[in-house]
Amino acid sequence: MSSSKSPRFQNLLVYLLLLSPLAAFATQPEEVQSWLEKMQRAAHTVNYEGTFVYGQQGHLSSMRIIHRVTPEGEEQERLISMDGTGREVIRDGGKVTCFLPDSNAVVVEKSRKLKQFPPEFPMKIDELKDYYTFSLMGDSRVAGHVTQGIKILPKDPYRYGHHLWVEKKTGLLLKTHLLDEDNKQIEQFVFTQVSFLDQVPDDKLAPAMDTQQFTWYESKDKIDNADETEPDFNVVWLPGGFKQDMKRMQKMPTGGMPVKHMVFSDGLSSVSIFIEEDVQHDPANLMGGSRMGAINAHGRHLGDYHVTVVGEVPHVTVQKICEAISSPDQ
């Protein structure tokens, strides 16, 4: 007995030695975490005005943005398209107004109530390190400001990678690249000019167009109650780290059948599953895959139901999830 103890003690030492690289890793994720938290806070608390370029699927568009936070913590934002017909979106707290000169229309929609600040940071690097590699890049300049670069790369083919450039003083996100499974950029966003402001005058947040001839549309509130009598569907496969965020029943704005909506997320990207009754196999339901920039969708029949999966993840992910849904009576 006692003779076997000393090798075992050695084993323990080896084990401790193996753990020591963990300690070396530990400082970096914390640093990345605090940068990401700073970035998220800044997105909702900093007053700024700037011009950025947004590109996806080979299209580039240039936009101007003005962002203000009231002393009560309410966010106000005006986004103006610099090309095309000059669409504008103005967000004032929970109200979003969309000015569409190309259709002579103004669309007003209420959003969910904003909760108090500071927001809880949803992403925990500790929980994500099995699925992503986080690293800090060197400093570089974006629109004349010094930024901290952050690289977030997936360890499996089920999610996208992110390159982020965060302004060092304020934490505002000044540039992003979204990378697909082949490391190709599928979405880019970069500020070409940005200034941080103490005060933002009201007129900067007013629409620049004459809306007298426009038709105003106001959308109805959505039904948000989950109907517990609906059968439960099983999702038997999800990428690692994906957990359920939300479940609800709702009517789509286009009317029709109530839709079961579930959201799953790993903290960096999310996937929605929509299930509705479809005994007649309505041809308006998506069959197979479809994509919109970084967002992929996949649909199929499931008995008397139709399933559509939508998410800012590679197509293989929405497809696998879609195929992994089984109805309760199976």
Q: For residue 175, which amino acid is it?
A: K
Distance CA(180)–CA(188), nearest Å, equals 12
> Is residue 122 within the footprint of another protein (CB under 8 A)?
yes
At its nearest, how many Å lie between another protein and the CB of residue 304?
Answer: 15
> Is residue 107 within the footprint of another protein (CB under 8 A)?
yes
> Is residue 153 within the footprint of another protein (CB under 8 A)?
no
> Is residue 119 within the footprint of another protein (CB under 8 A)?
yes
At its nearest, how many Å lie between another protein and the CB of residue 82?
Answer: 9
At its nearest, how many Å lie between another protein and the CB of residue 305?
Answer: 15
Per-residue interface string for the shown chain with another protein, residues 270-309, x marking contact by CB under 8 A: x-x-x------x-xxxxxxxxxxx-x-xxxxx------x-
185-214 binders of another protein (CB under 8 A) = 189
Stretch that binds another protein, among 143-151, 193-201, 232-240, 258-266 (CB under 8 A): 258-266
> Is residue 15 within the footprint of another protein (CB under 8 A)?
yes
298 conformational bin, left if phi > 0, alpha if psi -120 to 50, beta if neither: beta
Q: Taking Cα atoms as reference points, which of 59, 58, 103, 54 lies closest to residue 80?
A: 54
At its nearest, how many Å lie between another protein and the CB of residue 146?
Answer: 19
Task: Give the list of residues 6+ apart from residue 324 with CB closer than 8 angstroms, or none.
Answer: 235, 236, 237, 238
> Is residue 237 within the footprint of another protein (CB under 8 A)?
no
86-105 binders of another protein (CB under 8 A) = 87-89, 91, 94-98, 100, 102-103, 105
Instruction: Record the tokens describing residue 97, joined without a space.
Output: 């107004």
> Is residue 54 within the footprint of another protein (CB under 8 A)?
yes
Give the burial class of 259: count Cβ atoms within 10 A of its Cβ; 0-12 exposed, 13-18 middle, 19 or more buried. middle
Q: Taking Cα atoms as reference points, which of 173, 187, 170 lies closest to residue 269?
A: 187
Q: Is the peptide bond before 118 cis (omega within 30 degrees of 0)?
A: yes
